[in-house]
Structure 1
Amino acid sequence: MNGSARTGHQDDPDASGGPVRLTAWVRGRVQGVGFRWWTRARALEIGGLTGFASNLDDGRVQVVAEGPHDACERLLTSLREGGTPGRVDGVTEMWGTPRGGYEGFAER
């Protein structure tokens, strides 16, 4: 997939599998096609993730996921190549330390 960018991956708080926060901005035709619902379903299927998927005013979808590093990586891979609804032109990611405060995984 063209247009993917990795931001801050070398600085992952815990690339060994501990808890992390993944923020991903997905661009393409991703609003009005069930993309947020699909993202939530995929996060629940992977398990161990909390966070949300939200439409942005500029047409992108922002995905915030907290949980084990490997589970966040699986969700990120799914966003990029997992047969998503609509069309994903690219995903930009940022890794950080979990902030907590989420119950489950929501569509916003």
Structure 2
Amino acid sequence: MSEDVRLVAWVRGHVQGVGFRWFTRAKALEIGGLSGFALNLADGRVQVVAEGSRAGCEGLLDWLQGSDTPGRVDGVTEIWDTPRGGYDGFAIR
């Protein structure tokens, strides 16, 4: 039985204005079973919040840290937490 988790990740680099949030949402939907959002922050980072299975969230984190993303990722900082719920699918904010 897999536990549900909450991943909050802050992605640094050239990640705004390159479709990063759209591709993050597409990847979350491809993985399946994830809810949450991707949000541009004023300092140029993108915040990604995903809730779902640990394996699904780890898959999304692996993608965020990989070379397949649009733009250029210089680094990802993440924290793991207990799911809070309240998300309807995976949104771009």
Structure with bigger gyration radius:
1
Deviation at 1:82, TM superposition (A): 4.6
Runs (4+) of structure 1 exceeding 6 A deviation are none
The unaligned stretches of length 5 or more in structure 1 are 1-15
Q: Distance in 2 between matches of 1:35 and 1:91?
A: 14
Does residue 62 (structure 1) correspond to residue 70 (structure 2)? The answer is: no
The unaligned stretches of length 5 or more in structure 2 are none
Q: Distance in 1 between matches of 2:2 and 2:41?
A: 29
One-letter identity of the residue aligned with 1:105: F
Cα deviation 1:41-63 (Å, max 9, x = unaligned): 00000000000000000000000
Partner of 2:7: 22
Q: Distance in 1 between matches of 2:67 and 2:83?
A: 24
Give the TM-score of the pair, scaled to structure 2.
0.97
One-letter identity of the residue aligned with 1:34: G
Q: Distance in 2 between matches of 1:25 and 1:104?
A: 20
Partner of 2:72: 87
Identity value in percent: 72
One-letter identity of the residue aligned with 1:50: S
Does residue 99 (structure 1) correspond to residue 79 (structure 2)? The answer is: no
Q: Distance in 2 between matches of 1:82 and 1:33?
A: 14
One-letter identity of the residue aligned with 2:10: W
Q: Secondary structure, in 3 states, of the residue corresponding to 1:21? A: strand
